[in-house]
């Protein structure tokens, strides 16, 4: 995030609405290349976080204001997408849960609160991602510093190279998004970059943990009619069976897509499918192959 003013938007308040949209979109188009430039560091973070979670650790997102809310959004989507326990990926937000929906005065400056929250929740085998566009938010920097002292893996996502967050984190991911269309409004380009990075990290970790077979969400909970239909399609594709066979397998598997896929593909009972999964450490790729 740059503190400079964007030349292209200096007179944005005087421009026609279509020009406003085009200016915003032209700047938005700069974000994906900035994130792509951080691909190696994002991949490194995925591998290191996966290692922690594979050995009993958890993943924490830490942020304040806009950054914290973006992190919360990513974390909230993981259980319904990948079927993980809600305790596996947590959010520590400056100001607590009430800050998800409204600003909490002074929360982002409260270093003591950050240290207290991290000390209470984070362990040495965990991974912690701090998110702050400026890289200077006291709450987030203090939380990452404390996490380092505990021995947790730390990752910093910021738009400011050389910032305290980038310096403190074990892995610094710093997409250079440049000045915002509205100066200082980090919900725009910086926020978009944060969402793209978090999407890549969380999805990559879930893939590495075996929560995806091919490109299918094999652990997705089927909790409503739309998702039950989607789950049946997953079984169809993964097992290579007809729709009726997929639906029946899902019924027999009590809605478990992974189990139903093995049942349909191998033509075995739920009990036999469970044994096969246990023998292959739950890996559909290992069990089913290509």
Active site positions, annotated: 77, 108
CB atoms within 10 A of CB 253: 22
Tokens encoding 49: 């976080």
Q: In this structure, what are the phi and psi dihedrals at residue 210, rounded to the nearest 5 degrees? A: 85, 20
Residue 114's region, left for phi above 0, alpha for psi from -120 to 50, else beta, is: alpha
The answer to whether 133 touches 190, Cβ cutoff 8 Å, is yes
CA distance 250 to 176: 46
d(CA 267, CA 6): 62
Q: How many CB atoms lie within 10 A of CB 99?
A: 19
Q: Helix, strand or coil for residue 218?
A: coil
The pair of structure tokens assigned to 33 is 């290349």
Residue with tokens 């400011």: 160
């Amino acid at each position: 995030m740059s503190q400079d003013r964007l030349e292209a938007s200096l007179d944005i308040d005087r421009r026609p609405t279509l020009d406003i949209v085009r200016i915003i979109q032209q700047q938005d188009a700069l974000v994906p290349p900035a994130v792509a430039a951080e691909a190696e560091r994002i991949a490194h973070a995925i591998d290191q976080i996966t290692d922690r979670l594979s050995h009993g650790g958890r993943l924490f997102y830490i942020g304040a204001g806009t950054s914290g809310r973006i992190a919360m959004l990513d974390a909230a989507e993981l259980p319904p997408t990948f079927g993980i326990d809600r305790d596996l990926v947590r959010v520590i937000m400056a100001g607590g849960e009430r800050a998800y929906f409204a600003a909490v005065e002074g929360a982002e400056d409260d270093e003591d609160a950050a240290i207290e929250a991290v000390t209470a929740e984070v362990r040495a085998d965990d991974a912690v991602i701090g998110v702050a566009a400026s890289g200077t938010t006291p709450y987030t920097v203090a939380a990452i510093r404390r996490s380092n002292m505990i021995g947790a893996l730390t990752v910093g996502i910021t738009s400011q190279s050389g910032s305290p967050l980038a310096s403190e984190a074990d892995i610094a991911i710093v997409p250079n998004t440049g000045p915002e269309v509205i100066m200082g409004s980090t919900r725009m380009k910086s926020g978009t970059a944060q969402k793209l990075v978090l999407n890549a990290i969380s999805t990559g970790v879930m893939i590495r943990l075996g929560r995806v077979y091919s490109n299918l969400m094999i652990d997705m909970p089927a909790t409503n009619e739309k998702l039950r239909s989607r789950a049946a399609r997953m079984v169809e594709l993964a097992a290579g069976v007809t729709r009726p066979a997929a639906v029946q397998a899902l019924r027999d598997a009590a809605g478990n897509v992974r189990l139903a896929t093995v049942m349909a593909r191998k033509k075995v009972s739920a009990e036999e499918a469970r044994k096969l999964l246990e023998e292959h450490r739950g890996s559909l790729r290992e069990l089913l192959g290509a």
